[in-house]
Amino acid sequence: MKLLEGKVALITGATRGIGRAIATKFAEQGANIVFTYRQKNGTAEEVESSIEALGVKCKGYAADAADYSATEGVVKQVIADFGRIDILVNNAGITKDGLLMRMSEEQWDAVITTNLKSAFNFTRATVPIMAKQRCGSIINMSSVVGVSGNAGQCNYSASKAGLIGFAKSVAKEMGPRGIRVNCIAPGFIQTDMTSALSEEMREAWCKTIPLRRGGTPEDVANTALFLASDLSSYVTGQVINCCGGMNC
């Protein structure tokens, strides 16, 4: 028996990296996959066909996750196409790093709207559907820097800490309606987002990690699978660090 058989999972920003790994993992476990992406460039079609090859339905929707009305439109269309939403993964995220003393308003606003407001947009649009179903699992992709802070990333850390407060609050509001809300706080995961770091910096990071390696998107996807499935049916309002012990 597959862990997500017959469920519908909506994952934001899933054409690459952690989002794509989660979409693939959930599909392998029987979920039909809905994902969003920011711009049309042909990748979404390739993701759709690779996931459909796993024997489930899959559809990508182009929409900026930070845009409230576009999000409402996507969720309405998903219901028209798939009929329900059982799992929401608020994964879309960006960095625009810099020290506070040099940070522009544009850097701050872009990161807060893309990383934090997007989660409000999708959760706000999805929760009434999950409440009617009387079940649902929402997963916010936070970060270890949302738990502990990081010099040079005050905008990103604030957005990721905000996702934790948001998840804990919605968990309290919506628990009685059968909706669980949790966060994953990944550490240093090898994706396009971290590929800008030099080889020396990557090695230096890895030396500080008790498990002595960067994480893979699949490491995060396995944690997401636990939170999405009924294996975690009594877990809500929590943050799971997936960081090789970096934050222990």
Among the listed residues 37, 68, 156, 234, the single catalytic one is 156
SS3 for 41?
A: coil
The minimum distance between CB 64 and ligand NAD, in angstroms, equals 5
Residue among 71, 114, 121, 223 that touches ligand NAD (CB under 6 A)? 114
* Contact set for ligand NAD, span 195-234 (CB under 6 A): none
Task: Name the DSSP letter for residue 2.
Answer: -
Is 177 a binding residue for ligand NAD by CB under 6 A? The answer is no
Cβ atoms of 63 and 13 within 8 Å: the answer is no
194 counts as binding ligand NAD under rule CB under 6 A = yes
CB 25 within 8 A of CB 224: yes
With a CB cutoff of 8 Å and minimum separation 6, the contacts of 127 are 136, 138, 170, 174, 179
Instruction: Please tell me whether residue 16 binds ligand NAD under the rule CB under 6 A.
Output: yes
Closest CA to 162 of 180, 187, 186, 145: 145
Looking at the chain, the number of H-run helices and the number of E-run strands are 9, 7
Is residue 18 a contact residue for ligand NAD (CB under 6 A)?
A: yes
21-54 in b/e form (b: 16+ CB < 10 A) is bbbbbbbbbbbbbbbbbbeeeeebeebbeebeeb
Stretch that binds ligand NAD, among 64-72, 73-81, 172-180, 228-236 (CB under 6 A): 64-72
**Of positions 19, 60, 162, 244, contacts ligand NAD by CB under 6 A:** 19
Stretch that binds ligand NAD, among 59-67, 79-87, 128-136, 165-173 (CB under 6 A): 59-67
Give Cβ neighbours of residue 46 (< 8 Å, ≥ 6 apart).
none
Whose Cβ is closer to ligand NAD: residue 11's or residue 174's? 11
Nearer to ligand NAD, 94 or 103 (CB): 94
Task: Point out which residues bind ligand NAD (CB under 6 A).
Answer: 12-13, 15-19, 36-38, 64-66, 91-94, 114, 141, 143, 186, 188-189, 191-194
The residues carrying an active-site annotation are 156
